[in-house]
Amino acid sequence: MIERTLSLIKPDCVSAKNAGKVIDILEKNGFLIVGMKKIKLSKEAAEGFYAVHKDRPFFKSLTDFMSEGPIVAMVLEKENAITDYRALMGETDSTKAKEGTLRAQFGTDIERNAVHGSDSPDTAKFEIGYFFSELELV
Ligand code: IDP
Ligand code: MG
């Protein structure tokens, strides 16, 4: 099934000037970019995006990180986009992510892990709508 997922290139990866490399890898792996924008999240916007994690001990640190500088938000389209993009990202902790994954290549640790990807169809719907209107998707 053709799916859409939300991808974020996080502030650590954008400030390291690795956004272009990530985009190149996405296209080479068959993801179609149907929406893309560079934005800077406010602390409140980062808190809204990560509301599911509001009771976690890392919530403050995570939302500080996600609002420290610009991010690139993209909607990716592909067969099985959600699962395939999660596999391409690698696991949450960059130091444990498999060689060749985006997080192994561009992440630093469990928090500063370079990229985000939706984890289910319901999450993807919420997360895409958080950043994009239907008119912005091509
Ligand atoms: P995911 O991004 O792989 O889906 P989640 O568990 O949904 O991982 O966590 C959201 C984000 O919160 C992670 O990508 C990472 O930036 C951060 N994070 C997750 N677990 C920890 C932790 O134990 N310490 C610090 N930051 C964390
Ligand atoms: Mg998650």
Per-residue pLDDT reduced to its tens digit, 77-129 = 999 999 999 999 999 999 999 999 999 999 999 999 999 999 999 999 999 99
How many domains is the chain partitioned into structurally?
1
Domain-embedded: residue 136: no
What is the reported pLDDT for 76? 99
CATH number of the CATH domain containing 115: 3.30.70.141
pLDDT in tens, 48-66: 999 999 999 999 999 999 9
Asked if 53 is an active-site residue, the reply is no
CA of 71 to the centre of ligand 1 (A): 16
User: What is the domain range of residue 105?
Assistant: 2-131
Intra-chain end-to-end CA distance of the chain, in Å: 18
Catalytic residue among 4, 78, 103, 116: 116
Which residue is associated with the tokens 């994954």? 101
CA pseudo-torsion sign 110, 111, 112, 117: positive
Domain-embedded: residue 38: yes
Query: What span, in angstroms and rounded, lies between the C-alpha atoms of 85 and 80?
Result: 8
Query: What span, in angstroms and rounded, lies between the C-alpha atoms of 92 and 94?
Result: 6
Pocket lined around ligand 1, Cβ cut-off 6 Å: 53, 58, 62, 92, 110-111, 113, 116, 119
Nearest Cα to Cα of residue 68 among 135, 11, 137, 131:
11
Nearest Cα to Cα of residue 41 among 23, 15, 19, 65:
65
